[in-house]
Each structure stands twice: as structure tokens, then as C-alpha cells.
Structure 1
Amino acid sequence: MIKHRRFMTSALLAVVFTVGIAGCAIFNPRADSELPPLLSQDELIRPHVKLGRIQVTRETYGSDYSLTPDIRAWGAAAVRQEAEKMGADAVTLLEVDGRTTVYGVIPSTEYRASGIAIKFK
């Protein structure tokens, strides 16, 4: 009985430790405020250089419960994260759309977000 209790305690501690380590790996401590902002064409008063066009695509089959109903928020966050990787100061001309098609009885939805990454001079 004591060996069984020790084994269960060890197993439980191992699971808690593994979940703790894995949780740290998927947690992104960076705040959204540190990502490049979304600017409209009217807000671009400073000289800037276009770094490139960013396009992020996500395709789902069936229902995608992990994606929030606000597709625009997903698209803005995805484009801003990619712009940060490029070293951009801001993102402009954000476009987010989705298209659903049905293959037999299984719906497939493709979400697309795009924008222009810019760097101020």
C-alpha cells in the first residue's frame, strides 16, 4: 500500500511538473501593446518605407472552436505578430476575410489576413 501511494504521488508530481513546463512553453509573455500598431492611411504623416506585404492564411475543416468569432481580431493579431518579426514599426491596409466551401458534408473555411508592414524613416 505504501509503495502504491509513493508511486501515485511521484506520478502526480511528474504530471504537474510536465504541465507546468509545457504551460510556460505555450504562454506568450509579450503584451499586445508591444506589437506594431495598425495605422490607417490618414495616420501615416511621417515618411516611411514599405517593408513588404504580409499574408497569413488559416484553413479549417469542420468547425473551428479554437478561433474566436471575431475573425478581424484574429487577423489583426496574426499580421501584427508577423510584422514584429520583420522589424516593422507599424502595419497599414489591414484586410481580413474568410471563405467557406463544402466538400461533401464537411465544410472547409479559409481565413486570410493581409497588411503592409512599414518602417518609419
Structure 2
Amino acid sequence: MIKSSYRLLRVILPLTLLGALLLAGGCATTKTYTGDLPPILAQDELLRPYQKVADLEVRRERMGAPSDISPEDYAWGYDALRREAARIGADAVMFPQLSVETEHYILFPSSEMKAKGVAIKFR
């Protein structure tokens, strides 16, 4: 009885750990939500009077060298600015800027991304 339980445990435990690792890897993907978030507008798209609400800045650590920035990194920056603008009740974001600031090499290259913008509210 004990031997069969031990054999069952030897089979189930690795499968459970493998499943947990696969699920954890799926959680690391970037989720982009664009519904009901304020748009990012260029200066010539502003047709109504507005007032500046706040200067926005968001940061995140990313794996990889600054030279391998991807479209997903830009999408993260723009979406993060839009979420912050929505959180404070702004109507739009102007002058978005995305930059890679600091570079670290401990075991793997990593860098800090920074996105900046101006939150506005229409009058």
C-alpha cells in the first residue's frame, strides 16, 4: 500500500509542478486593455480648449538591453499612460515620450523604461 502511494506521488508531483510552471509563465504576458481609456492626442488633434491636469510618469524594469526595445514595450508605455490618465479623471494624454533609462547587468541585461506624458481635461 505504501509503495503504490509513493509511486503515485512520484508521478503526480512532477506533473503538478510542471502545470504550475506553465500557468505561471502564462501570467507573465502583457495584457492590453484599451476600452474607455483616454486617447493619446497630438497637438493638432486638439480642437477644443483644455487645461493641463498633471504630468504623468510611469516606470518599469524590463529584461533585455536598451537596444532591443520592441513594439510591445511601446504599447506598454502608451497603455500605462492612458490608465494613469483615466485613474485621475483626465480626458486625454498629450506629448507621450518613451525612453529606456538605466541599464543593469547582474546575470542578464535589464533596463528601466520610463513613459512620460501630460494629462489634460477638456473645458
* Shorter-chain TM-score tier: 0.5 to 0.7
Contact 1:100-1:107 at 8 Å conserved across structures? no
Letter in 2 for 1:36: P
Q: How does 1:14-33 map to 2 (within 5 A)?
A: 31-33=33-35
RMSD (Å), alpha carbons: 4.1
**Normalised by the size of structure 1, how large is the TM-score?**
0.65
CA distance in 2, matches of 1:77, 1:31: 7
Alpha-carbon distance between aligned partners in 2 of 1:42 and 1:33, rounded to the nearest angstrom: 23
Q: Percent identity?
A: 42
Deviation (angstroms), 1:106: 4.1
> Residue 45 of structure 2 aligns to which amino acid in structure 1?
E
Deviations 1:40-63 (A, max 9, x none): 001112001100100001124x54
Return closer, same or farther for 1:81/1:63 CA change in 2, 3 Å cut-off.
same
- In structure 2, distance between residues paired with 1:97 and 1:49: 25
Structure 2 unaligned spans of 5+: 1-31
- Residue of structure 2 aligned with 1:59, choices 61, 64, 70: 61
Q: Structure 1, residues 28-75: CA drift from partner, whole Å, max 9, x if none?
A: xx9513100010001112001100100001124x549xxx83221110
Out of 67, 72, 75, the residue aligned to residue 74 of structure 2 is 72
User: Under a length normalisation based on structure 2, what TM-score does the superposition of the two structures give?
Assistant: 0.64
| Structure 1: gaps (5+ residues) | 1-29
Label 1:63 to 1:48 Cα distance change in 2 as closer, same or farther (>3 A). Answer: same
Alignment coverage as a number of residue pairs: 116
Give the Cα–Cα distance (whole angstroms) in 2 for the partners of residues 56 and 33 of structure 1: 20
> Residue type of the partner of 1:87?
G
Give, in angstroms, the shift of residue 95 of structure 1: 0.3
Q: Give how far 1:101 is off.
A: 2.1
**SS, match of residue 51 in structure 1:** strand
Q: Which residue does 1:114 correspond to in 2?
A: 116
Q: Secondary structure at the match of 1:83?
A: helix
Q: In the alignment, is the contact (CA less than 8 A) between 2:33 and 2:79 conserved in 1? A: no
